[in-house]
């Protein structure tokens, strides 16, 4: 309940799960300072857009959100551009969007309260450094799953990627800090912790750790025993070790799911991308030999500069061989400051769109087949919410199995009611292209 005189803020979240974590942390810092979060920007004293600057489409979405709020805001309202686009553009973002009162880069989210103090004193600050890992405050649980960022930045030099320009060098969060944040999330009712970073398998290398991710997972499983599911996102294919695979296989509470962005399957295309050129099928085989039921997720880029029809054909053939469970495909987008943006042989928009459609058609057929293989199985489902109009849809609740990460993968629609936040056994009865249908299994 808001009391008279309490300051209010509105937060618009954009971008990836790593950015969402930073936004949630900023919101919690402000709540601890006495601010009240509101859902209606018209009711807020401060408007914050947590921007994304990863690709052109994300930049445009961020700019549009800022411009809309900047145009509509009252004179007394303050507009803050935070996050990756603020980090990348700096004062150029303020010049591009009239009405921005302050800029807070992704590296300095922990100073949101101080920045607002500066804005209220009449200063128009641009804070985009230094590079540091800040202790996250206890966050409000917004559902049974929560993201936990284990590192920030990236040391790889992929030709297409602007992340190192935005986030800087890879910086791991100390294990003790990760354990503390995980315990806080569990105390707030979280049932699944999703570990995220730009390069999760590189965790701890800046501390001198070999197999740092495996070491951290062992500690997390041991020291946070009350979280049923631990999920790891964004492992880099060139740094997968036998110990990491064994760690995934050994711990039942680490869900049997790996998200490993491969980006392409043709060796020449991978070389131009400056990506690992080892056989991606070999990495997939290692995981599946250790865990036959593991769900494999990856992402790919079509239309990278110089991509020929033969290279694209080899990518399609790889899809058939790999039989990945979950796949995201993106059309290449040239990003300022990256090597690929300066390359010759840029692929036309028309060709990129055609290749994207062909890739998605191929992958949808594979997804239908992979999902159909789940019919008859009984899988644990983390219930996330109640379905609206159950009498019309025939479904009571919706949730996810270990095979699906929050927000980006499929869902399971369950006919019987279970409380959100519970994990229940569900027998799968129907399969669609990306989602499943089931009923609670008899005890």
Give residue-wise pLDDT tens across range 293-334: 999 999 999 999 999 999 999 999 999 999 999 999 999 999
Distance CA 59, CA 1 (A): 35
3-state helix, strand, coil in the chain (%, to 5): 40, 20, 40
Q: Which range, of 62-66, 271-275, 365-369, 392-396, averages the lowest pLDDT? A: 392-396
180-227 per-position pLDDT tens digit: 999 999 999 999 999 999 999 999 999 999 899 999 999 999 999 999
Q: What is the three-class DSSP state of 441?
A: coil
Q: Is the pTM above the cut of 0.85?
A: no
The tokens describing 223, both together, are 């020291």
Distance CA 316, CA 417 (A): 41
Q: What is the percent of the chain where pLDDT is above 70?
A: 96
- What angle (nearest 5°) sits at the alpha carbon of residue 228, between those of residues 227 and 234? 85
DSSP 8-class letter at 361: H
The tokens describing 3, both together, are 């009391």
- Res 443: pLDDT: 65
DSSP 8-class letter at 153: -
Please name the residues in contact with 361: beta carbons below 8 A apart, sequence gap of 6 or more.
Answer: none
Over 60: is that where the pLDDT of 144 sits? yes
Average pLDDT, integer, range 357-372: 95
82 forms beta bridges with 50, 104
The tokens describing 70, both together, are 């900047």
- Res 340: pLDDT: 95
Return the axis-axis angle of helices 112-120 and 17-32, rounded to nearest 10°.
60
Tell which wins on pLDDT, 391 or 417: 417
379-407 per-position pLDDT tens digit: 999 999 888 877 778 889 999 999 999 98
- Give me the half-sphere count of Cα atoms (radius 13 Å) on the Cβ side of residue 120: 10
Average pLDDT, integer, range 407-413: 92
73-122 per-position pLDDT tens digit: 998 999 999 988 988 888 888 888 888 999 998 878 888 999 999 898 88
Which domains occur in the chain, in start order?
8-127 (3.40.50.12160), 145-372 (3.80.30.20), 378-440 (2.40.50.140)
Nearest to 348 by CA among 364, 332, 367, 335: 332
Nearest to 48 by CA among 1, 3, 88, 7: 7
**How many residues can be counted in the chain?**
443
- Res 136: pLDDT: 56
Over 90: is that where the pLDDT of 290 sits? yes
Distance CA 275, CA 399 (A): 35
The tokens describing 203, both together, are 């965790």
How many helices (H) and strands (E) in the chain? 14, 19
Over 70: is that where the pLDDT of 2 sits? no
Hunting for tokens 């920045």 — which residue is that? 115
- Res 55: pLDDT: 80
Over 70: is that where the pLDDT of 71 sits? yes
Assign 138 a pLDDT band (cuts: 50, 70, 90).
low
Q: DSSP secondary structure string, 95-121?
A: HHSTTEEEEEEGGGGGGHHHHHHHHHT
Over 60: is that where the pLDDT of 141 sits? no
- Res 131: pLDDT: 54
Q: What is the spatial order of strands in the sheet that 257-259 belongs to?
A: 257-259, 295-302, 326-331
- Res 368: pLDDT: 95
Whether the Cβ atoms of residue 186 and residue 137 lie closer than 8 Å to each other: no
β-bridge pairing 192-196 and 229-232: parallel
Report the chain's terminal Cα–Cα distance, integer Å: 42
- Per the prediction, the chain carries an average pLDDT of 91
250-275 per-position pLDDT tens digit: 999 999 999 999 999 999 999 999 99
Nearest to 198 by CA among 149, 264, 137, 245: 149
15: left (phi over 0), alpha (psi -120 to 50) or beta: left
> What are 70-76's contacts with CB under 8 Å, separation 24+?
70/97, 70/98, 70/99, 70/100, 71/99, 72/41, 72/42, 73/41, 73/47, 73/99, 76/45
């Amino acid at each position: 309940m808001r009391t008279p005189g309490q300051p209010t803020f509105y937060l618009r979240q954009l971008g990836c799960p790593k950015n969402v974590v930073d936004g949630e942390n900023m919101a919690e810092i402000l709540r601890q300072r006495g601010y009240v979060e509101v859902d209606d920007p018209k009711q807020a004293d401060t408007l914050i857009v947590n921007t994304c600057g990863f690709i052109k489409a994300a930049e445009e979405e961020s700019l549009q959100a800022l411009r809309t709020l900047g145009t509509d805001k009252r004179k007394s309202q303050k507009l803050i551009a935070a996050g990756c686009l603020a980090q990348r553009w700096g004062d150029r973002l303020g010049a591009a969007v009239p009405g921005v009162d302050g800029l807070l880069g992704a590296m300095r989210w922990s100073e949101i309260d101080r920045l607002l103090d500066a804005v209220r004193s009449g200063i128009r600050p641009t804070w985009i450094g230094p590079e540091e890992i800040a202790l996250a405050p206890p966050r409000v649980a917004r559902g049974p799953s929560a993201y936990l960022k284990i590192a920030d930045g990236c040391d790889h030099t992929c030709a297409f990627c602007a992340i190192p320009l935005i986030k800087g060098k890879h910086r791991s969060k100390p294990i003790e800090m990760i354990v503390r944040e995980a315990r806080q999330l569990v105390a707030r009712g979280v049932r699944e912790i999703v570990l995220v970073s730009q390069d999760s398998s590189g965790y701890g290398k800046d501390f001198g750790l070999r197999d740092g991710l495996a070491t951290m997972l062992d500690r997390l499983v041991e020291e946070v025993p009350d979280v049923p599911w631990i999920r790891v996102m964004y492992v880099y294919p060139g740094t997968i070790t036998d110990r990491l695979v064994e760690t995934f296989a050994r711990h039942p509470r680490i869900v049997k799911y790996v998200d490993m962005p491969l980006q392409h399957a043709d060796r020449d295309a991978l070389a131009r991308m400056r990506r690992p050129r080892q056989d991606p099928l070999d990495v997939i085989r290692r995981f599946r030999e250790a865990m036959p039921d593991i769900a494999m997720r990856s992402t790919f880029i079509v239309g990278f500069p110089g991509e020929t029809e033969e290279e694209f054909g080899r990518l399609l053939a790889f899809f058939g061989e790999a039989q990945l469970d979950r796949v995201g495909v993106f059309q290449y987008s040239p990003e300022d400051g990256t090597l690929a943006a300066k390359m010759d042989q840029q692929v036309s928009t028309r060709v990129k769109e055609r290749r994207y459609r062909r890739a998605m058609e191929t992958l949808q057929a594979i997804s239908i087949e992979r999902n159909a293989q789940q019919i008859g199985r009984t899988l644990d489902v983390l219930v996330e919410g109640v379905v609206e109009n159950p009498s019309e849809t025939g479904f009571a609740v919706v949730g996810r199995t270990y095979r699906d990460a929050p927000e980006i993968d499929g869902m399971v629609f369950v006919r019987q009611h279970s409380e959100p936040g519970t994990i229940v056994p569900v027998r799968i009865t129907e399969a669609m292209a990306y989602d499943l249908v089931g009923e609670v299994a008899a005890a």
